[in-house]
Amino acid sequence: MVYRAIGLMSGSSLDGLDIVFAELEESRGEWNYNIKAAACYVYNNAWKQKLINAKNLSAYDYFLLHAEYGKYLAEQVNAFIEENDLYHQVQLIASHGHTVFHEPQSGFTTQLGCGATLAALTGINVVNDLRSIDVAFGGQGAPIVPLGEKLLFPGFDFYLNIGGIANLSFQHEKEFIAFDVCAANRVLNMLAQKEGKEYDENGAIAERGEVNNALFDALNKLDYYKLLPPKSLSNNFGTDVVYPLITSFNLDTADALRTYSEHIAHQISESVQQIIIDKAAGKNQFKLLVTGGGAFNKTLVKKINENLAISYVEVIIAENNIVLYKEALIMALLGVLRWREENTVLASVTGASRSSIGGAVWMGQEA
């Protein structure tokens, strides 16, 4: 069976809205994909500020923004369909939305982007709110991409996505676990913006910096790293905890970026080594697939390679389309799985009481 779906992803790094149109084919339980079109619609400054400030809005103003962002998503999807001549080809839209509050310990997670508005203004059926049912079952609601990694990218032991938050998945025999490792591009971008740059291209600024050992030690002592999986991070961890800690050391930008890059690589290595000790002690060769914008950060990838070499982990950078659009592609798959009424979230990943079929369905198509 072939499904033609659009996946939408807005990550915590605030670089823009990723859109993928893919053909997803299932045959005897095995899935294949073909990305037919993909794009990133960069947020203008006005939208960046709206998304950054969403957490400070009143309930009334938050829901106004929820509807407005749903309209924005529909406008981008309609433009994408026109630009790629996809009229009458898209069967389903799966929208992750933009996460504002992620508080699984309090029983809720919220993503901006009204699914009803998106369905009504595109005339296409929509699946959104992919995380809430898992949180209701006591799970973290995150990460949600591991099921897609398992189905679409077999053959790897580890999957590392370096976006606004770095998350790690691990597959060994029938076991699959995943968790958020640390804040990543969101913090690196905030530091680069002090130099008037949107991001540190290729890690060039970090490369010329020096590690500040006092800051490096302080970062590694943060309480989150003491927690065992399943665990997940909200965007606020990077903006409200990590970034103020870094700036309190009054370092120049190059040293701050170098130190935080070393910290990311260290935390990834620590997580990988602990998994190997706990779950795969009898194996001595591993493959790790890297995706997300951080895969283009040469300084960061070099440090990850250096840290993982002692664990005999081969670091493999995915092809560019997957580096950039893996999460949007997986959103499309999760939407299709929801449509088929199959599990979209793994309890082994999130710690929920059971795996679940997540997502609200909005019928934009006329009967």
Average pLDDT over residues 344-353: 94
The pLDDT-based confidence of 367 (bands split at 50, 70, 90) is confident
Q: Looking at 51-183, which runs of residues are DSSP E strands?
A: 92-103, 108-112, 126-128, 158-162, 165-172, 175-183
What span, in angstroms and rounded, lies between the C-alpha atoms of 284 and 304?
Answer: 18
2-141+328-362: CATH architecture: 2-Layer Sandwich (3.30)
Read off the tokens for 95. Answer: 């929208």
- Residue 180 near residue 165 (C-beta atoms within 8 A): yes
Q: Where are the domains positioned within the chain?
A: 2-141+328-362, 147-322
Average pLDDT over residues 336-342: 98
The yes-or-no answer to whether 2-141+328-362 and 147-322 have a common fold is yes
Angle formed by the axes of helices 59-83 and 45-53, nearest 10°: 140
Q: Note the pLDDT tens digit of each residue in 185-215.
A: 999 999 999 999 999 999 999 999 999 999 9
Q: Note the pLDDT tens digit of each residue in 128-149.
A: 999 999 999 999 999 999 999 9
Q: What is the H or E stretch that residue 146 is in?
A: helix 146-152
Percent of the chain with pLDDT over 70: 100
| Gyration radius from the chain CA atoms | 20
Q: Which CATH number fits domain 147-322: 3.30.420.40, 3.80.10.10, 3.40.50.300, 3.40.50.720?
A: 3.30.420.40
Question: What is residue 8's predicted lDDT score, i.e. its pLDDT?
Answer: 98
What span, in angstroms and rounded, lies between the C-alpha atoms of 120 and 142?
Answer: 28
- Residue 163 near residue 169 (C-beta atoms within 8 A): no
- Residue 313 near residue 286 (C-beta atoms within 8 A): yes
Question: What is residue 63's predicted lDDT score, i.e. its pLDDT?
Answer: 98
Average pLDDT over residues 21-38: 96
**Mean pLDDT over the full length of the chain:** 95
The pLDDT-based confidence of 283 (bands split at 50, 70, 90) is confident
Q: Note the pLDDT tens digit of each residue in 218-260.
A: 999 999 999 999 999 988 999 999 999 999 999 999 999 999 9
- Residue 212 near residue 235 (C-beta atoms within 8 A): no
